[in-house]
Chain A
């Protein structure tokens, strides 16, 4: 079973897509161009501090707001290994899966963990923080299929016989 450990960035409830990727920068040419502006309305310094393998832990309704897929793409491009939130807004949830960004739903961790601490995730099974274990509920099969293919683009390429 896949297991990884990462440093936590702690965010609150209702982290909306305008915070994750403000509209002002939405029409920049590439996702990498947009990365420096991620989370800028809330924490302008955050994007530069995130390192490969870090983990975002947040409250309820993460990713609420617009359909902009730049939001999960930018999070992934910044190197975030996975997001663990109490709950997700639906469009963001679909977009993240379609781009192969791992989302984990857990309402308790955000109450316990502090920013900068390390947690360990056992994919599909549990999260470990200090001496506590938090269960992870499994995803529906059709979503696992997309994740397994490596995102929706790959799934469609397979459909079109391109891979």
Chain B
């Protein structure tokens, strides 16, 4: 009997032929990520547990992104605690203002196809875009991994999502994942792995896959995985020949006779631009249904949609146009590298000339601590991953999640607009 993608990754990690969903196994961790909000808690728990060294300091990556730039008086304590922890335990992979953790983990080469990685953030599932098993954990478990290099997991069942065909030009991978979340509902994949397959995904850039993997946690999934291909190899800096000769990576896909919990099948041509309406990520409606609603702010950014192709899509729309009067358009590139590439390509110039506020790379508004906080009865269209009550200000803020194209058109028109 065949295996799913996640089963293959876990089996290889623990040196077994195969594993079965429901089994509880202990995996060897390839990489961990801790970000600035949680580092003080991880540091406390680590020492409270009685560890005196990190199992492998080079396998830890410490990233400051939620609190950059600091917006509250106590934020700097998180940097100081992180710096002290890194110095004490020999952690060399520290990024203090380079962008959002989930962007950096694959962009800077910390996570490769087939790896198992954990992070103190629910969107750690993002690294599934390169065929890695990664998921979010709490700070206590993180402290445990730092000491032992291991973590128990339950081998998840797999839900396969099969999409074939060509997406309409005004539809992005964001619309695809939002539609899937709407169909699966917010708890439809709890404890399970999503596996994406089909010609539509084959045609997608790694960046577009990242958007999808990133949001799989919003239906409760443990992870969301794509099979690595040549594009993945190039993105991860794996030489074409090495990739071709790596039998594990070549076979890192669901077997035809693998057992799936469920299979969802879509035709790419059927997708339309959609939005997650307040205040649940699975409250999905076609943008055409909500078009015309006046907005106060548009946010383009986050680990979901702050990449070069997202900024480029917005720039193409804003070229020669202006952001609507009295509407704030906030653009937060996902990383320093993306910011610089967007500078080089003239994308930031186009956006700034149109009236966008371009902030330094980081979590920005998505984590709700600064970067464009709103107040009662304000409406925001945002490209990030959550629209929970109070996520971006008061509980009376209405948050609509949508694609960069929908966001950019909405910024131009000042009201929710179906992209053309």
Direct contact of A and B (CB under 8 A): yes
Using Cβ atoms and an 8 Å threshold, which residues of chain B touch A95?
A: 137-138, 140-141
A48: Cβ under 8 A from any B Cβ:
no
B21: Cβ under 8 A from any A Cβ:
no
The residue of chain B having its C-beta at the shortest distance from the C-beta of A146 within the complex is B152
Interface size range of chain B in the complex: 35 or more
Q: Using CB atoms and an 8 Å cutoff, list the residues of chain B in contact with chain A.
A: 24, 37-38, 41, 45, 48-51, 66-67, 72, 74-75, 77-78, 119-122, 124, 135-141, 143-144, 147-148, 152, 154, 186-187, 190-191, 218, 220, 222, 280, 367-369, 386, 388-391, 394-395
Q: Given A41-B389, A64-B220, A69 and B72 touching (CB < 8 A)?
A: no
Question: How many residues does chain A have at the interface if contact means C-beta atoms less than 8 Å apart?
Answer: 45
18 of the cross-chain contacts (CB-CB < 8 Å) are A23-B369, A24-B369, A26-B369, A27-B78, A41-B388, A41-B390, A64-B186, A64-B187, A66-B121, A66-B136, A87-B190, A89-B187, A89-B190, A91-B137, A157-B48, A160-B49, A161-B50, A162-B49
Those 5 A-B pairs whose CB atoms lie nearest each other, nearest first: A41-B390, A69-B138, A160-B50, A156-B49, A61-B187
Q: Is the CB of A98 within 8 A of B190?
A: no
Complexed CA–CA distance, A160 and B53 (Å): 12
Distance to closest chain A CB from B365 (angstroms): 11
Interface string of A87-112 (1 = CB under 8 A from B): 11111001100110000000000000
Residue among A66, A68, A140 making CB contact with B24, cutoff 8 Å: A140
Distance to closest chain B CB from A157 (angstroms): 5
Contacts between chains A and B (CB distance < 8 A), count: 138
Using Cβ atoms and an 8 Å threshold, which residues of chain B touch A156?
A: 49-51, 143-144, 147-148
Complexed CA–CA distance, A72 and B41 (Å): 14
Q: Given A66-B136, A90-B220, A98 and B37 touching (CB < 8 A)?
A: no
Q: Given A16-B388, A64-B187, A67-B136, A27 and B120 touching (CB < 8 A)?
A: no
The residue of chain B having its C-beta at the shortest distance from the C-beta of A28 within the complex is B74
Distance to closest chain B CB from A158 (angstroms): 9
Complexed CA–CA distance, A160 and B49 (Å): 7
Complexed CA–CA distance, A138 and B220 (Å): 22
The residue of chain B having its C-beta at the shortest distance from the C-beta of A99 within the complex is B140
Distance to closest chain A CB from B77 (angstroms): 8
The residue of chain B having its C-beta at the shortest distance from the C-beta of A90 within the complex is B191
Using Cβ atoms and an 8 Å threshold, which residues of chain B touch A28?
A: 74
Complexed CA–CA distance, A60 and B187 (Å): 8
A40: Cβ under 8 A from any B Cβ:
yes
Q: Is the CB of A152 within 8 A of B141?
A: yes
Given pairs A60-B187, A61-B186, 19 additional interface contacts (CB within 8 A): A14-B187, A14-B280, A26-B37, A41-B389, A41-B390, A41-B395, A64-B187, A65-B386, A67-B119, A67-B120, A68-B37, A69-B138, A72-B138, A91-B122, A98-B141, A153-B48, A153-B140, A156-B144, A160-B49
Q: Is the CB of B78 within 8 A of A67?
A: no
A112-160 contacts to B (CB < 8 Å):
140, 142, 151-153, 156-157, 159-160
Q: Is the CB of B51 within 8 A of A27?
A: no
Using Cβ atoms and an 8 Å threshold, which residues of chain A touch B67?
A: 27
A19: Cβ under 8 A from any B Cβ:
yes
Complexed CA–CA distance, A55 and B225 (Å): 37
Distance to closest chain B CB from A33 (angstroms): 10
Q: Given A19-B390, A40-B390, A89-B187, A27 and B136 touching (CB < 8 A)?
A: no
Complexed CA–CA distance, A72 and B357 (Å): 37
Q: Is the CB of B74 within 8 A of A29?
A: yes
Complexed CA–CA distance, A41 and B190 (Å): 24
